[in-house]
Amino acid sequence: MDAPAFKDLVFVGGGHSHALVLRMWAMKPLPGVRLTLISPQSMTPYSGMLPGLVAGHYGFDQTHIDLPRLCDWAGVRWIQDEVTAIDPKRRRLSLAGRPDIEYDLVSIDIGSTPDRSIPGSRQYSTPVKPISDFHARWERIREQAREGTLGSIAVVGGGAGSVEIVLSMAHRLHEQGSPLRLSLVTAAGTLLQGYSWSVRRRVLQALEGQGIEVLRGFRVARVEAGRLMAEDGREHRADELIWCTQAGAAEWIAASGLRCDARGFLSVRPTLQALEHDDLFAAGDIADMVRTPRPKAGVYAVRQAPVLFHNLRARLLGEPLRDYRPQDGFLSLLALGGKTATGMKPLPGGLSLSVSGDWVWRWKDRIDRRFMRQFHELPPMTMPRCRAEVDPRLIDAEEREQEHDPAVRCAGCGGKIGADVLRQVVQSISGQAYRPEDAVALDDRPQRLFQSVDAIRAPLDDPWLFGRIATLHALGDLQASGLRPHSAQVLVSLPHAGERLQRRELGALMRGVLKELDAAGCRFLGGHSAEGTELSLGLALQGVEGEGGWLAQSGMRPGDRLLLGKPLGSGVLLAAAMKARLSGRWRERLIEGLLRSNASAADALQAVGAHACTDVTGFGLFGHLLEMCQASGCDAVLRLEGVPLYPGALELSRQGLRSSLYPHNRRADRAMVMDAAGDEDRLALLFDPQTCGGLLAAVPAAVAEAPALAEAGFVTVGEVLPASGAEPLIRIQS
């Protein structure tokens, strides 16, 4: 939104309710509100299609919502991490892998997990949730079944989910020609309590038809490796144990002091607000509806979404909230392994309608596909033609007297971030009083002092992550030169926002910066902050020579091997993210690469006596290699197929996606010679501008295969040739 932000609305978890609310919000945004989604998994499953995934009727992508892509499309900040605690009084979330996050309004939709309080169940069984972990385990189980190293599986549970899982497993294993001995273990005397007699009969027929043993009244007391021990002394053995029991809540909800039910689910009012906290909402399985208790089922999460959407906006604007009124019954369809299903619909007067057959599966399939289509086929979003107006009710009283229109806010020195914001942020991070100076004295050192400067715009809407990425990107210049980072100053440009949100933004950014500076042993000296239209960060870095001395670009020698330390393709992947075309799984691999420091790679190069080095950034691999050839008076050869690429980069390149700097970089191909017709889409990635790119080094051929270089991630991509003319040439071999 082209408007300053004044309120932070944070969504914890990517459940059905939240996915629907984010889609609704994108269609009807509220200027002045910044949305953030936090989830440990980038791909969130649609539970209704899990049996079809296990049975092989659907692929992984068909059954999952790509949360980062949804966020890119909806303009929502995406954070992949796990919330571990909430402080509702301070309105603060604690995360497993990064600093705390503050909020003005928070909503929780993290689903549920099988209750694994029985001794040994955590160590010796596989839960069906989270589904991403279970699916990975299921693929290994299928492989073991093919190899003949697995003979039996037991599924623990007696509800609809466990029945669908064991039948889907039996169907898939039979289809692949490796049927196993399967059993369903339940503490109840009757399967599917609450379902009609005809549905239970149809399910029992399906279980019998697949040869699945059903152990009723088997109340598990203890789990050991490959063995279930019952309270009555019975035991049941199986090579693989799948846990699909009654749902339980994440432990951190109750541990945070929130009002919960006996199983740890967050108790909520009809408005979906926590009982004691007006700014905390919950939906889906994690919510315990105190006045109208209902079983845990996805249909409630889906129907809570419109009420949650309305109430979050109403709470922000001080408007009346609505009550969620759950229906008394709902259509329940159960997949029976193959493409057949059964189900029931409650009717007035305590009656029910039961249905079974192949046509029921086709009906269920249409319902499920229709639900997922709204996330897989995201409509194009049009940009607003005029500046969005912020509702004054979103602005705190102490900030209402300030000028908030970016078009008329002062530029020049008036565009600086307020002194209080900068002081409070720096002091809170460093723990020391902030005493700004107009200039900072560097230590009087006997070594030569080198200086480098770099700046980038935020490629991802996550200030903490961006602070780390921008710092690592800038440190690459020093590391490529064989220098040890000594000190750093920063130049920050923050988007227009309310003072509280600017403080949060700057705090998150600087914590990311200091994390990487500290890891590099680089002293933070201070800096300058200003306002702008977008988040950007520049660093002026000072470095000193390491033990191996300064490593220049100009030292390449004919016969040297060319090594590359990271894959290519970050430019096209980040361009895809801006267009909501980057999948969550590709994004995860990209972030892993961006956050990998070049420090260990630089040390390895120094240890083997590298001749020349640079870091691959904005000019792409070809452009930076050309610079090295020009400085060294050499030619070079690149082996196109040997150049490593990030997952997804080649697929996106084949779709014609290019970074905005690509046309400029491609002009350097006047120095390119193709030995044979090559893959144009793969070739284009040689000109792809890189963020946090790897080191490109020329090393003696005798040490190119050194184990230390391989451990640092280096791959041989070409070699240095003698100059063939006045201007250097780079030959491309396919």
Domain-embedded: residue 374: yes
Enumerate residues 6+ apart whose C-beta is below 8 A from 383: none
Domain-embedded: residue 257: yes
Domain that holds residue 456: 412-545
Q: Are residues 124 and 70 in the same domain?
A: no
Q: Are residues 560 and 702 in the same domain?
A: yes
CATH code of the domain covering residue 168: 3.50.50.100
pLDDT band for position 449 (cuts 50, 70, 90): confident
| Separation of alpha carbons 104 and 119, rounded Å | 40
The SS3 call for residue 75 is coil
Distance of alpha carbon 443 from the chain centroid: 41
| Separation of alpha carbons 131 and 45, rounded Å | 7
- Percent of the chain scored above 90 by pLDDT? 77
Enumerate residues 6+ apart whose C-beta is below 8 A from 244: 114, 127, 128, 155, 156, 157, 159, 161, 162, 165
| Separation of alpha carbons 526 and 440, rounded Å | 8
Domain-embedded: residue 395: no
Give the pLDDT of residue 404.
Answer: 58
Among residues 611, 592, 613, 617, the alpha carbon closest in space to that of 601 is found at 613
The sheet with strand 352-357 has its strands ordered as 332-335, 341-346, 352-357
CATH code of the domain covering residue 419: 3.30.1330.10
What's the distance, Cα to Cα, between the start and end of the chain in Å?
A: 45
Domain-embedded: residue 123: yes
Domain-embedded: residue 232: yes
Number of domains in the chain: 4
pLDDT at 211 over 70: yes
What is the gyration radius of the CA atoms in the chain, in angstroms? 29
Q: Are residues 58 and 135 in the same domain?
A: no
Domain-embedded: residue 388: no
pLDDT band for position 445 (cuts 50, 70, 90): low
In angstroms, what CA-CA distances link 132 with 14, 52, 167, 592? 13, 14, 19, 19
pLDDT in tens, 157-204: 988 999 999 999 999 999 999 889 999 999 998 888 888 899 999 999
- Residue 531 · residue 415 · CB < 8 Å: yes
pLDDT at 657 over 90: yes
Question: Which of these is catalytic: 386, 413, 522, 613?
Answer: 413
Give the pLDDT of residue 596.
Answer: 97
| Separation of alpha carbons 192 and 167, rounded Å | 14
Question: Mean pLDDT across the stretch 226-238?
Answer: 95
Q: Are residues 371 and 452 in the same domain?
A: no
| Separation of alpha carbons 191 and 220, rounded Å | 16
Q: Are residues 227 and 145 in the same domain?
A: yes
Q: Say which range, 194-203, 646-655, 706-715, has the weakest mean pLDDT.
A: 194-203
Q: What pTM does this model have?
A: 0.91
- Residue 110 · residue 13 · CB < 8 Å: yes
pLDDT band for position 414 (cuts 50, 70, 90): very low
What per-residue string of b and e applies to 456-492 under the rule 16 or more CB within 10 Å gives b? Answer: bebbbbbbbbbbbbbbbbbbbbbbbbbbbbbbbbbeb
| Cβ neighbours around 633 below 10 Å, total | 13
> Is there a catalytic annotation at residue 629?
no
Q: Are residues 705 and 720 in the same domain?
A: yes
Q: Are residues 448 and 530 in the same domain?
A: yes
Query: Beta strand pairing status for 64-66 and 43-45?
Result: antiparallel
The SS3 call for residue 645 is strand
Q: Are residues 299 and 237 in the same domain?
A: no
The sheet with strand 227-230 has its strands ordered as 220-224, 227-230, 235-237
Give the pLDDT of residue 387.
Answer: 63
Q: What percent of the residues of the chain are helix, what percent strand, and what percent coil, each to the nearest 5?
A: 35, 25, 35
pLDDT in tens, 458-517: 999 999 999 999 999 999 999 999 999 999 999 999 998 898 999 999 999 999 999 999
- Residue 447 · residue 544 · CB < 8 Å: yes
Domain-embedded: residue 394: no
Instruction: Tell me the residue type at 163.
Output: V
Q: Say which range, 420-434, 590-604, 646-660, has the weakest mean pLDDT.
A: 420-434
pLDDT in tens, 560-578: 999 999 999 999 999 999 9
Residue 437: both structure tokens together: 């100076």
pLDDT in tens, 504-555: 999 999 999 999 999 999 999 888 888 888 999 999 999 998 777 788 899 9
Domain-embedded: residue 231: yes
Q: Are residues 20 and 57 in the same domain?
A: yes
| Separation of alpha carbons 512 and 99, rounded Å | 9
- Residue 570 · residue 688 · CB < 8 Å: yes
Among residues 274, 278, 276, 283, the alpha carbon closest in space to that of 308 is found at 283
Residue 575: both structure tokens together: 């361009």
